A and B are shown apart, each in its own frame.
Chain A
């Protein structure tokens, strides 16, 4: 048993498990031989080893009086032979002594855990690690694309930040405030948004927008000081000096001026002649550039059409034939396209039930996005014709295969599309590089483009009031006029197109009005009240539910009185003379397109632009001469100028009940249905017509073509004028090729024919806005497989040649005069034939049998006489070999042989038409003759045709 001293413990004994405090009686101390003094000498714990057996003995001897008795159960199982007892001078356990009941407790007391040292080690270790890290040089940072996104999220100041100092005079503190309405033109007034109930737009989901706008008007303070100016005491008003007429007469009569003229005129003449002969400042280089075949200029450039992009929607257009395609009149780069099942009439009937089930769409394509159409219009049936309103480009009308007229309002979708296209323009103009779309944006964009907006139909005509066959063409009435119920033409004060015409294969022409029609029984006041009170949920409600009826209807007849089946129409847009047709767009129309109010989609909800009551406010248009005519092409290949208002003499018939259109002229020239009529952008009176495999150019006023092509090895189907060169037009052929015609180069055939697809070409289009020379020029072609092909035109066709305008004008005038002369000659000849015919008939009809008998006898006598004369004549020759005068032919034989055949034919015709021939004064007479002559004289006719 030894004693040892320990270092002061950190932990108190009470915390150690198995250490029990004891208070020992003096007997116990004696028993264990514990020296009291020695144990408490130092003030620290002093340990003393007790024999385990001795402890047990103490318990056995003293039983419950023993201090160790309460812990007997633990002591009983003590594993070692000695137990540790220690003094506790600081009474940590509450007693003088303590005893360790377990071995662990004993070890803990003897070797308390060295916590302090371990903590110190940890600290050192950490420091070491830090030192290590500090000694390492950082690696160079390498970007893996994340920095772009970071950059995109960065907010960069586009301008130096404005520092605003707001101050208030102390004297104003706590004073009263006055709030007033801001003046209307103040800049802070502009941000106002009308709130509309969301229910009004069932297809639009409301999304919460987290956005705040604060408008801070830029403040500018300037001051000027007027400079010093000299004071003026005098002011002068002056008038131009002039000489009185008497004086002028005097001067002009004087010798002086005569002398002056004598001196001056030779000099002037010389100079003027010089100018005429040589244009000194003629720019040769400018013209050099455009000369065709100038290899220097064009060696690098291709003269061929290059394919730019193909647009096809596999779901909605693939495998269907494109019926119409047009460039949007306002948005460049947008193409509108309608498709139909590519079947013949009989097959279509067979497959009727199937095609009824298929959805029909009119597609809007953006030339920049070849994957998805931008807008789809839902159509009830196959759409055969589509036209976009020129003044309100969000309105679209179309004609369906079942004869119904459909009407769509793109509304907000149009403005979104327009904004998208405009934004794109701005973006590319600004800096495309800095604004690279991030991945997220791309993802968003693609998601947006996938969700192509589907526009429901806004109006559908009543089936009974619709055409009986497929609508072949629709055309908006120009925005400056409007047509009344009786066909009269009025000035359109709104300046917007609200009416359109349609023709179909049922021989009728119908006019449609998109405004609500006033009901006959309803008083005007009621109408107004209704408009005020009823909140219009759908402003096109009047066009729905089978209510839409045509404004008026005309049936068309050809010259023989049969129905005329029109295929295409072009409304003549000639306006008052003295105005340039290019600058013709009325100011109102322009403003309605570019108006700021249209920027705000809210303006659309205003029913004002399209729903005024059909109250007649505009004045009657004065020059009715040119406005009531339509250029029309028929299924039979005839071209006509028809007038819906006036009769043939150009007089407006007093009763407006005329339901049959007057044909100003109608001439059959093509040998098949007219498939395309397009108006020249340079000369509005020139029309390009394709039909029956030939191409012709017409002037609106002439009843015959001023230019026509011969037959080709290809079958032209559609054609369009170039928008940049007056002499060029492009023709799409049924064989899938595109031909380019250049009248400056040759007029007997196309300059170039290039195969494009292996299916039929059904339509051809060119943007309305002529591209500038620097930009690419596009030509869009549609085929019967539902594909829009956009081709890049060669540069050569982008700019007019010098004098091209003049040359084309000359050419057209020459052809016009030639045709006029030819027609005149033909008329003269037919007149001659008629007169000969007539006299022949007269001579024949008026003779009674007696007269004929007499004549025969006379003739016989004359012949006999002649014979006698001849015999005498012969005798005289034989007699004296002297020449005699040959006998003159008699009156009857004077009709030359060449007319004989014609006479016979004419006689035959006359016999056939004897019944109809009775009234000679009918106005159709001229045309009949004209046609009859055509039939008779095919050879001449071919000569006239262009080779």
Chain B
């Protein structure tokens, strides 16, 4: 339980950043575990980002088998999608940097 609190704290801290719209934690299967957005949208994000992660990770591995993917920043017209993958989980944060 103690760890759970820590996790909640961390999520809160990330959300408190300026312009953060939402956060999704997914597992390696692409299933959302924790989300601050509405369910349908988070499922969409989870599914799409998983594919992107697999593709980009394999690309990096092909180029250099010792290298690994650590972060993806996707800049879009409306916002920025930050993806931080780890072995079992990945975190997706959607930020609107121009929002002031």
State whether B98 touches A258 (Cβ < 8 A): no
Contacts of B20 in A (CB 8 A): 272
State whether B17 touches A276 (Cβ < 8 A): yes
State whether B89 touches A257 (Cβ < 8 A): yes
State whether A253 touches B29 (Cβ < 8 A): no
In-complex Cβ contact of B93 among A240, A272, A276 (8 A): A272
For A256, the closest partner residue in chain B by CB is: B88
Does any Cβ of A come within 8 Å of B65's Cβ?
A: no
Q: In the complex the two chains form, what is the Cα distance from A251 to B3 in whole Å?
A: 10
Could you tell me the distance in whole angstroms from the C-beta of B57 to the nearest C-beta in chain A? Answer: 16
State whether B71 touches A271 (Cβ < 8 A): yes
In-complex Cβ contact of A276 among B71, B82, B97 (8 A): B97
Could you tell me the distance in whole angstroms from the C-beta of A146 to the nearest C-beta in chain B? Answer: 59
In-complex Cβ contact of B98 among A241, A268, A279 (8 A): A279
Does any Cβ of B come within 8 Å of A275's Cβ?
A: yes
Does any Cβ of B come within 8 Å of A190's Cβ?
A: no
State whether A260 touches B98 (Cβ < 8 A): no
Does any Cβ of B come within 8 Å of A909's Cβ?
A: no
Q: In the complex the two chains form, what is the Cα distance from A256 to B88 in whole Å?
A: 9
5 nearest A-B pairs in the assembled complex, by CB-CB distance: A258-B3, A275-B97, A272-B17, A253-B4, A264-B84
Could you tell me the distance in whole angstroms from the C-beta of B91 to the nearest C-beta in chain A? Answer: 5
Contacts of A243 in B (CB 8 A): 27, 31, 33
State whether A252 touches B88 (Cβ < 8 A): no
Q: In the complex the two chains form, what is the Cα distance from A264 to B14 in whole Å?
A: 11
Could you tell me the distance in whole angstroms from the C-beta of B86 to the nearest C-beta in chain A? Answer: 5
Does any Cβ of A come within 8 Å of B18's Cβ?
A: yes
List 16 interface pairs A-B (beta carbons < 8 Å), by A numbering. A240-B43, A243-B33, A248-B33, A253-B1, A257-B89, A260-B89, A264-B84, A264-B86, A268-B82, A268-B91, A268-B93, A269-B17, A272-B20, A275-B95, A275-B97, A279-B98
Contacts of A273 in B (CB 8 A): 17
Contact flags (1/0) for B30-69 with A, using CB distance below 8 Å? 1111100000000100010000000000000000000000
Contacts of A264 in B (CB 8 A): 84, 86, 91
Contacts of A254 in B (CB 8 A): 3
Does any Cβ of B come within 8 Å of A116's Cβ?
A: no
Could you tell me the distance in whole angstroms from the C-beta of A707 to the nearest C-beta in chain B? Answer: 23
Does any Cβ of B come within 8 Å of A943's Cβ?
A: no
Contact flags (1/0) for A241-263 with B, using CB distance below 8 Å? 11100001101111111101101
Does any Cβ of B come within 8 Å of A281's Cβ?
A: yes
State whether B100 touches A272 (Cβ < 8 A): no
Does any Cβ of A come within 8 Å of B19's Cβ?
A: yes
Contacts of B19 in A (CB 8 A): 275-276
Q: In the complex the two chains form, what is the Cα distance from A433 to B4 in whole Å?
A: 75
Contact flags (1/0) for B73-100 with A, using CB distance below 8 Å? 1010000101010101101010101101
A260 and B95 in contact (CB under 8 A), knowing A252-B7, A254-B3? no
Q: In the complex the two chains form, what is the Cα distance from A803 to B100 in whole Å?
A: 9
Q: In the complex the two chains form, what is the Cα distance from A257 to B3 in whole Å?
A: 9
Q: In the complex the two chains form, what is the Cα distance from A257 to B7 in whole Å?
A: 8
In-complex Cβ contact of B31 among A241, A255, A256, A279 (8 A): A241
Q: In the complex the two chains form, what is the Cα distance from A282 to B14 in whole Å?
A: 23
Does any Cβ of B come within 8 Å of A280's Cβ?
A: yes
Interface centre among B13, B20, B33 (most CB of A within 10 A): B33
Contacts of A280 in B (CB 8 A): 75
Contacts of B75 in A (CB 8 A): 280-281
Could you tell me the distance in whole angstroms from the C-beta of B18 to the nearest C-beta in chain A? Answer: 5
Q: Is the interface of A mostly helix, strand, loop or mixed?
A: helix
Does any Cβ of B come within 8 Å of A267's Cβ?
A: yes
State whether A253 touches B71 (Cβ < 8 A): no
Q: In the complex the two chains form, what is the Cα distance from A857 to B54 in whole Å?
A: 101
State whether A261 touches B73 (Cβ < 8 A): no
State whether A261 touches B10 (Cβ < 8 A): yes
- Beyond the given A271-B82, A272-B82, please list 12 additional residue pairs across the A-B interface where CB-CB is below 8 A: A242-B32, A253-B4, A258-B6, A260-B86, A260-B88, A261-B10, A265-B13, A268-B91, A272-B18, A272-B95, A273-B17, A275-B95
For A241, the closest partner residue in chain B by CB is: B31
Count class of interface residues, chain A: 20 to 34
For A282, the closest partner residue in chain B by CB is: B98
For B3, the closest partner residue in chain A by CB is: A258
Count class of interface residues, chain B: 35 or more
Does any Cβ of B come within 8 Å of A806's Cβ?
A: yes
For B40, the closest partner residue in chain A by CB is: A240
Contacts of B47 in A (CB 8 A): 240
Contacts of A803 in B (CB 8 A): 100
Could you tell me the distance in whole angstroms from the C-beta of A253 to the nearest C-beta in chain B? Answer: 5
Contacts of A251 in B (CB 8 A): 27, 33
Could you tell me the distance in whole angstroms from the C-beta of B90 to the nearest C-beta in chain A? Answer: 9
A265 and B100 in contact (CB under 8 A), knowing A271-B73, A272-B93? no
Q: In the complex the two chains form, what is the Cα distance from A279 to B75 in whole Å?
A: 11
In-complex Cβ contact of B7 among A258, A272, A276, A281 (8 A): A258
State whether A241 touches B29 (Cβ < 8 A): yes
Could you tell me the distance in whole angstroms from the C-beta of A681 to the nearest C-beta in chain B? Answer: 23
Could you tell me the distance in whole angstroms from the C-beta of B14 to the nearest C-beta in chain A? Answer: 6
Contacts of A279 in B (CB 8 A): 97-98
For B98, the closest partner residue in chain A by CB is: A279
Contacts of B86 in A (CB 8 A): 260, 263-264
Interface centre among A254, A267, A268 (most CB of B within 10 A): A268
For A279, the closest partner residue in chain B by CB is: B97
Contacts of B93 in A (CB 8 A): 268, 272
Contacts of A260 in B (CB 8 A): 86, 88-89, 91
For B80, the closest partner residue in chain A by CB is: A275
Q: In the complex the two chains form, what is the Cα distance from A258 to B86 in whole Å?
A: 12
In-complex Cβ contact of B3 among A242, A253, A269, A275 (8 A): A253
Could you tell me the distance in whole angstroms from the C-beta of B20 to the nearest C-beta in chain A? Answer: 7
Could you tell me the distance in whole angstroms from the C-beta of B73 to the nearest C-beta in chain A? Answer: 7
Q: In the complex the two chains form, what is the Cα distance from A263 to B10 in whole Å?
A: 11
Contacts of B97 in A (CB 8 A): 275-276, 279
State whether B71 touches A267 (Cβ < 8 A): yes
Contacts of A272 in B (CB 8 A): 14, 17-18, 20, 82, 93, 95
State whether B33 touches A252 (Cβ < 8 A): yes
State whether B84 touches A267 (Cβ < 8 A): yes
Q: In the complex the two chains form, what is the Cα distance from A241 to B30 in whole Å?
A: 9
Could you tell me the distance in whole angstroms from the C-beta of A274 to the nearest C-beta in chain B? Answer: 9
Could you tell me the distance in whole angstroms from the C-beta of B52 to the nearest C-beta in chain A? Answer: 17
State whether B14 touches A255 (Cβ < 8 A): no
For A252, the closest partner residue in chain B by CB is: B4
For B18, the closest partner residue in chain A by CB is: A276
Contacts of A240 in B (CB 8 A): 43, 47
Contacts of A263 in B (CB 8 A): 86
Q: In the complex the two chains form, what is the Cα distance from A257 to B26 in whole Å?
A: 11
Contacts of B91 in A (CB 8 A): 260, 264, 268
Q: In the complex the two chains form, what is the Cα distance from A272 to B1 in whole Å?
A: 28
Contacts of B1 in A (CB 8 A): 253
In-complex Cβ contact of A248 among B3, B13, B34, B95 (8 A): B34
Contacts of A267 in B (CB 8 A): 70-71, 84
In-complex Cβ contact of A255 among B3, B13, B73 (8 A): B3
Q: In the complex the two chains form, what is the Cα distance from A241 to B10 in whole Å?
A: 26
For B47, the closest partner residue in chain A by CB is: A240
Q: In the complex the two chains form, what is the Cα distance from A260 to B88 in whole Å?
A: 8
Contacts of B27 in A (CB 8 A): 243, 251
A265 and B3 in contact (CB under 8 A), knowing A243-B31, A256-B88? no
Contacts of B34 in A (CB 8 A): 248, 252
Contacts of B73 in A (CB 8 A): 271
Could you tell me the distance in whole angstroms from the C-beta of A736 to the nearest C-beta in chain B? Answer: 42
Could you tell me the distance in whole angstroms from the C-beta of A238 to the nearest C-beta in chain B? Answer: 11
Q: In the complex the two chains form, what is the Cα distance from A242 to B32 in whole Å?
A: 7
For B32, the closest partner residue in chain A by CB is: A242
Q: In the complex the two chains form, what is the Cα distance from A260 to B20 in whole Å?
A: 20
Q: In the complex the two chains form, what is the Cα distance from A686 to B1 in whole Å?
A: 52
Which parts of A212-242 form the interface with B (CB within 8 Å)?
240-242
Q: In the complex the two chains form, what is the Cα distance from A252 to B32 in whole Å?
A: 12
Could you tell me the distance in whole angstroms from the C-beta of B80 to the nearest C-beta in chain A? Answer: 6
Q: In the complex the two chains form, what is the Cα distance from A254 to B2 in whole Å?
A: 10
Q: In the complex the two chains form, what is the Cα distance from A406 to B1 in whole Å?
A: 77
